[in-house]
Amino acid sequence: MDLQSIAALHPTFDPARGLLLLELDHGKANEVGGPQLDAFAALCDLLEADDAVRCLCTTSRRVSARGTPIFIAGANVTERVGWSDDRVKEHVIRQRGVMHRLRHLPLFTTVLSHGVTLGWGAEFMLTADFCLATPTARFGLPETGLGILPGARGTAELALQVGPAQALRLGCTGEEIDATEARAIGLVHELVADLDAGLARVRSLASRLATRSPTAVAAYKRGLLAALGRPAEERLALERAAYEHCVDTGEAAIGRAAFSAKRAVNAEDAAAEPTPWGPRRL
């Protein structure tokens, strides 16, 4: 896998697990600007076309000069000095587009926050299928104090995750919350003791994903996300289409054959024998 186009995200690929780990380490506080958007867009190009990656994890070991752990401290607003209003609007439209692509990648995505997660960083959490945090993580949306609002899908998506009352509290007041509260309201899905424990948990998830059909995982995720907020009849139609896609691509037949073969041998030997899934078919 050619990772050169996303080198700015400090990628490490574990082929045995199909795990791509991004360890952010840039700028003053991992703030996200134009160059980082370019790298995330290139990441989407790579993952939409290559099914070698089964699980994506974005994290950071960054620590400030004062010893404060940092995940993403927000967008790089200083790069916008001197920009016209139209250029600012176009840039934020691009942010939304990149965030949308990250949310709909055809694989399982995780985020592991170990520190300051503000503005764009908090919105980035909404792109992940599963979010983990350590006790040192903190979350907040300071944008209204800058005369703007969370514009990289935060206003559009946060209430779907945490409910309108919590979204209004965070977005209107800029109040920061710790990892425990973020877990309680649903912004974070699992708490881990520290960064190493979080990475171990992600590797465990990636190991399980490596045994699954990449076509079925992609179809399940696509169908589930498309069904959100739809009437029951439409949700069931999307489920039918996703299921039949797995049948039509031959993945269901592969799964049945592998299941029958594993029943014919003892459980220990069966566990060591991977299912010969085909390439991901979207």
Residues 32 and 156 in one domain: yes
Q: How many domains does the chain have?
A: 2
Does residue 277 sit within a domain?
no
90-107 mean pLDDT? 97
Does residue 114 sit within a domain?
yes
Strand partners, 21: 12, 57
Does residue 129 sit within a domain?
yes
Residues 198 and 78 in one domain: yes
Question: What is the rounded radius of gyration, in angstroms, for the C-alpha atoms of the chain?
Answer: 20
Structure tokens at 42: 């290139």
Mean pLDDT of the chain: 95
Residues 234 and 260 in one domain: yes
Residues 195 and 224 in one domain: no
Last residue of one domain, picked from the residues 193, 209, 225 = 209
Residue that has been written with the tokens 């942010």 in this structure = 95
Sequence-distant (6+) residues with CB within 8 A of 5 are: 39, 42, 43, 45, 46
Does residue 281 sit within a domain?
no
Tens-place pLDDT, residues 118-146: 999 999 999 999 999 999 999 999 999 99
Residues 204 and 219 in one domain: no
Sequence-distant (6+) residues with CB within 8 A of 36 are: 8, 9, 26, 76
DSSP reduced 3-state for 112: strand
205 with 115: CB under 8 angstroms? no
Does residue 103 sit within a domain?
yes
Residues 143 and 47 in one domain: yes
Flag the least confident range among 147-151, 262-266, 275-279.
Answer: 262-266
Tens-place pLDDT, residues 28-57: 999 999 999 999 999 999 999 999 999 999
Q: Is the pLDDT of residue 261 over 80?
A: no
Last residue of one domain, picked from the residues 154, 178, 209 = 209
Does residue 177 sit within a domain?
yes
Does residue 61 sit within a domain?
yes
CA gap 123, 118 in Å, rounded: 8
- Reported confidence tier of residue 271, pLDDT bands at 50, 70, 90: low
Tens-place pLDDT, residues 151-186: 999 999 999 999 999 999 999 999 999 999 999 999
Residues 195 and 252 in one domain: no
pLDDT at 110: 98
Sequence-distant (6+) residues with CB within 8 A of 118 are: 72, 73, 74, 138, 139, 140, 141, 142, 176
Whole-structure pTM value: 0.94
Does residue 279 sit within a domain?
no
74 with 95: CB under 8 angstroms? no
- Residue 53, domain CATH: 3.90.226.10
Tens-place pLDDT, residues 200-252: 999 999 999 999 999 999 999 999 999 999 999 999 999 999 999 999 999 99
Residues 218 and 98 in one domain: no
Nearest CA among 28, 139, 23 for reference residue 79: 28
Residues 156 and 205 in one domain: yes
Range of 253's domain?
214-272
Residues 224 and 205 in one domain: no
Residues 106 and 232 in one domain: no
pLDDT at 21: 98
CA gap 281, 252 in Å, rounded: 13
Last residue of one domain, picked from the residues 187, 209, 231 = 209
Residues 165 and 221 in one domain: no
Flag the least confident range among 15-19, 110-114, 251-255.
Answer: 251-255
